[in-house]
A and B are shown apart, each in its own frame.
Chain A
Amino acid sequence: MGRLRRALASDHVAGWAFIGPAFLLIGVFGILPIVWGLVLSFQKSDLIDPNTPFVGLTNYRALAHDHVLRIAAGHTLVYTGVFVPVSVIGALFVAVALNRKIHLIRFYRTAVFVPVVASTIATSIMFLWLFDAQYGLANWLLGKIGVGPFGFFDSPRGALYAIIAMTVWGWVGFDVIIYLAALQGIPHELVEAAEIDGASRWSIFRSITVPLLGPATLLLVVWSSINALQLFDEVYFVTHGGPPPYNTAVVVWWLFSLAFRLGAAGYAAAIAYVLFLAILVLTMVQFWLGNKVVHYSS
């Protein structure tokens, strides 16, 4: 009995010794900030003054009257609403095209995947130049097919769409990798049986491939939406959020500016928590709706 107890005790000690360093670090840099962020959202803070008085719900009440936040939220929703379907549906077609054994397939796949490892800043620099209104290659190429010229990032209405085009370029390979993995899971027999029954390629794609990719699609829609709602780097770098009149302002850009440039960290923390809540609710709704539509095979 004593031996058993000792063995148990040593397992407790070993377990905590093993997770100890990780747990301490995650406690300090993972859990503490989550709690502190909530506390901060009820305080007034400029990140410098150590005196941070509690202001109750003032920060949350201020959300309703924030003109810039309203613009930024609108842009974020437009961005998410366009970026998610374009990148996910685009990736679906690209993945199906890439899922075959033909010459140059390795080259094609690599070409689609490489942008995934380019940083947001490297990507932004490439597209600032490519989309330069005056000297950009894009305007020249588009001119060849009789389109444009466009102002791209300089255009008040078009800048957000230029950012969408750029981020789709950077993300689509990521979605394609997930779709390719899922496509490998589709049983050959199913496709062959349909072929024997004389089904066309398009009807096989619609009636077999797309439904069987349901779980992967749901995952990608949820994941891309979470990321789209957190758009920041590209907006900050390419257009600096579009200083007034805020052509490309998005929520995270505004909360960053409030916290680190405008001395309103408490209010920014409130925005961050509301954003968190919005992401959580959207994710749950997407899973709930998705699970009604998506068919899971065993």
Chain B
Amino acid sequence: MTMEAQADRIAWPEEAEVAERPRRRWLPFSPWHLVLFPLALIMLLPLVWMIVTSLETQAESLHFPPVLVPGSLHFGNYPSALRSAPFGRWFLNTFIVTSTVVVSNLLLCSLAGYAFARIRFFGRAATFMLLLATLMVPFQVVMIPTFLIVKKLGLFDSLPALIAPNLVSAFGIFMLRQFFRTLPVELEEAARIDGASRLGVLFKIVLPLSLPALATLAVIQFMWTWNDFLWPLIAVFSQRNFTLQLGLTVFQGSHDVFWPLVMAGNVMSMIPMLVLFFAAQRYFVRGIATTGLKG
């Protein structure tokens, strides 16, 4: 069975699940809780501790044994964090870069993926192989020349430097091409006979049927771009062009051990990602299960 077929069957979060067999009960609850509950606590601990610290005073944070429950909740750490660094600017930069990259990928990967799936054109096999080959090459191999290309194009230290190399991804083209090939071709042929153009077929018939695949690509691409660190570290230099991930490094450095503010900043940097995760868990899970990529 392919990973893709398996992914469609994944029990997440409320689809078919393995029923617990009735067993002799020596506990009033399933013994699996004894394993899973501590595990969940350990997994959540770093996140909870981040939030707790973000609401403490500096004195409370630098206390040993740690202050587990702050005397009062210092929500003021959040506006302080925003004021102490160009956080708003970094937020805006990250948002501009991420949204441009996601929208552009949806459009360009759809067009190319559709051509590779349905149109017979000269050089299709060769260009597709070339595309797959680029997927195998690790980023470290291309990062130095990509830096030189971006510099030659006059984009170094600008938001376009962060955007341009990511406008389209070979992975996205491949993923959508695979999905388009699973759609019944008869609908498209009928529309073509009725005189619809290729573009019309793609936008009026194929894409509306492909919303789950497009959503999956969108959330995966969002996560990659929002969380990316190495390329921004290379491609921009001035603080006004920083993304949040770069900003956090400055932020941490400039406050050294002022942990409540650092944590407040860290919480804020994660909020959009977390909101998207909880709104679109299903697509994250599908994206990972079908393609196996974190970034």
- Name A residues whose Cβ lies closer than 8 Å to a Cβ of B: 11-16, 18-19, 21-23, 25-26, 28-34, 36-37, 40, 47, 94, 97-123, 125-130, 134-137, 140, 169, 171, 173-174, 177-178, 180-185, 188, 195, 216, 219-220, 223, 226-227, 230, 232-233, 236-237, 252, 255-256, 259-260, 265, 268-269, 272-273, 275-276, 279-280, 297
Name the contact of B167 in the complex, choosing from A25, A113, A173 (C-beta under 8 A). A25
- The reply to whether A265 and B144 contact each other, CB–CB distance below 8 Å, is yes
Q: Quick one: given A98-B36, A140-B64, are A11 and B120 in contact (CB under 8 Å)?
A: yes
Indicate if B100 sits at the interface (CB-CB under 8 A).
no
- The reply to whether B20 and A101 contact each other, CB–CB distance below 8 Å, is yes
Interface residues of B in 52-66 (CB under 8 A from A): 53, 61-66
Residues of B within 8 A of A18 (CB): 111-112, 114-115, 119, 198
Supplied contacts A30-B142, A100-B30, 4 more A-B pairs, CB within 8 Å: A16-B123, A33-B149, A178-B292, A184-B10
- The reply to whether B9 and A184 contact each other, CB–CB distance below 8 Å, is yes
Q: Tell me the complex Cα distance, A129–B30, Å.
A: 35
- A-B pairs under 8 A by CB, number: 304
Name the contact of B294 in the complex, choosing from A94, A171, A269, A279 (C-beta under 8 A). A171
Q: Quick one: given A19-B112, A180-B11, A185-B6, are A275 and B229 in contact (CB under 8 Å)?
A: no
- The reply to whether B138 and A15 contact each other, CB–CB distance below 8 Å, is no
Indicate if B76 sits at the interface (CB-CB under 8 A).
no
Name the contact of A230 in the complex, choosing from B50, B109, B140 (C-beta under 8 A). B140
- Residue of B with least CB distance to A23: B127
- The reply to whether A21 and B168 contact each other, CB–CB distance below 8 Å, is yes
Indicate if B170 sits at the interface (CB-CB under 8 A).
yes
Residues of B within 8 A of A180 (CB): 10-12, 289
Residues of A within 8 A of B83 (CB): none
- Name B residues whose Cβ lies closer than 8 Å to a Cβ of A: 1, 3, 5-7, 9-14, 16-21, 29-30, 32-33, 35-37, 39-41, 43-47, 49-50, 53, 61-66, 108-109, 111-112, 114-116, 119-124, 127, 130-131, 134, 136-149, 151, 164-165, 167-168, 170, 173, 198, 223, 226-227, 229-230, 233-234, 245, 248-249, 252, 259, 262-263, 266, 269-270, 273-274, 276-277, 281, 284-285, 288-289, 292, 294
Q: Tell me the complex Cα distance, A180–B273, Å.
A: 23
Residues of B within 8 A of A177 (CB): 10, 285, 288-289
Name the contact of A32 in the complex, choosing from B14, B35, B149, B276 (C-beta under 8 A). B149
Q: Tell me the complex Cα distance, A30–B137, Å.
A: 9
Name the contact of B248 in the complex, choosing from A30, A116, A125, A269 (C-beta under 8 A). A125
